[in-house]
Structure 1
């Protein structure tokens, strides 16, 4: 077994006091070859050294003796629906629920308080005539290297749209990410005109599953994900 140490910069928060689940999952997934599945055990703490244990079975992220997340290889078979047109994706952002009520307005992925160039600014809203949410995305240079988006930020982009696809109508209930499995099929280019979608897959008790996908301008699939979300009382959320 080998060990490494990572630190989650506060810039990459979801809630103001913990890391964005997709981004942190992507960091841990880098220790697993090929498509991976990451299960979050607790809110990832910010700005402190976290230990990554790498074994033949996968990887584990620890905060001292507490397990933050685990990663294993995955067979991600989710098939996305057809991508809405770019004009429809742009129009969908007008219905983004976070425009009027966002519990984590500083979320690195979907926080409306993030200025251009600071967060990913992916604001998925419902698409007319389709059971999905969608948003445009143009990756900024600082999330990439050599012209390509780094994998951790691809994971981040595939996170929040899935949550908004299965967000409860009940204002007293919210969802938190429990598990995210991602398959990256093609490189994602910096400054490309992309579309990100999320769609519901099912509900079983407190668990809700969703799919997400990133498409290029031509409608080709670049990456897909399947997520499990857990319904919790909205009062449990930390606002900010």
Structure 2
């Protein structure tokens, strides 16, 4: 089965391509509540893309003959070591490094140049006494579907960018998302106060691995993700 996908310019990461977490969420959402998606090239904006669903457990996102991303059903299993309070996340976000320097200040998820109601404005800052980052998040009404709950692809997006700030400890290394696996357990309603946290889970050469979790204000686990970040060479390289 083939369906069409268009990534609206609102949902950019770099100025001319889609935010990685959002795109992974679109692709993964065609399969199941738990999936792994690998990005193969920068996802183009405002372009009709073909999503080929194969045997209900794999999907390929194509720009004509070019492979943009591919996904597969995959369980996402790892332990969640802590759950910050909303106030702890708010305090951590005050030290968000992206305020001072940001490779993509118009990123839909973490760009400080995006206005409230337009961008997600997830500003994950370091937590005291933990090798982790956290941020508060209050979903905008524009993110909801007809059921009144936030669409799953936006939860993938929220789980994405904090991982970058968890692994990019020197604050000046340029990385982009290469792969993401996420599980969405519960979708919040707009205006519900949420908390996202992320921490580094390893590295191998230019690859850096993070885990992230999204909670309700009361500590209910809404979703979790594993992300793989690729350090660009040279450090200031761009797509």
Same-fold call, TM cutoff 0.5? yes
What is the alpha-carbon distance in structure 1 between the residues aligned to residue 144 and residue 74 of structure 2?
24
Structure 1 residue 168: Cα displacement: 4.6
1:63-112: CA deviation from partner (whole Å, max 9, x where unpaired):
11110000100110022221122221111111111000011010000010
1:121-153: CA deviation from partner (whole Å, max 9, x where unpaired):
100000001111000000000001232110110
Structure 1 residue 181: Cα displacement: 0.4
Within-5 A mapping of 1:169-180: 169=170, 171=172, 173-180=173-180
Structure 1 residue 237: Cα displacement: 2.4
Q: 1:144 is matched with which residue?
A: 144
Structure 1 regions of 5+ residues with no counterpart? none
SS in 1 for 2:49: strand
Structure 1 residue 170: Cα displacement: 6.8
Q: 1:161 is matched with which residue?
A: 162
Q: 1:23 is matched with which residue?
A: 22
SS in 1 for 2:88: helix
Structure 1 residue 47: Cα displacement: 0.7
Structure 1 segments, 4+ long, off by >4 Å, are none
SS in 1 for 2:25: helix
Deviates more, 1:84-93 or 1:113-122: 84-93
1:157-188: CA deviation from partner (whole Å, max 9, x where unpaired):
111001110015173x3211010000111222
Contact 1:168 1:174 in 2 (8 A): no
1:202-231: CA deviation from partner (whole Å, max 9, x where unpaired):
011111110011011111211000011111
Contact 1:78 1:225 in 2 (8 A): no
SS in 2 for 1:224: strand
TM-score, normalising length from structure 1?
A: 0.95
Within-5 A mapping of 1:33-52: 33-52=32-51
Is 1:79 aligned to 2:79, yes or no?
yes
Contact 1:89 1:195 in 2 (8 A): yes
SS in 2 for 1:28: helix
What is the alpha-carbon distance in structure 1 between the residues aligned to residue 86 and residue 30 of structure 2?
34
Is 1:105 aligned to 2:90, yes or no?
no
SS in 1 for 2:174: strand
What is the alpha-carbon distance in structure 2 between the residues aligned to residue 33 and residue 183 of structure 1?
9
SS in 2 for 1:45: coil
Contact 2:89 2:195 in 1 (8 A): yes
Contact 1:50 1:63 in 2 (8 A): yes
TM-score, normalising length from structure 2?
A: 0.95
Q: 1:229 is matched with which residue?
A: 229
Q: 2:6 is matched with which residue?
A: 7
SS in 2 for 1:235: coil
What is the alpha-carbon distance in structure 1 between the residues aligned to residue 160 and residue 171 of structure 2?
21
Equivalent pairs counted in the alignment come to 236
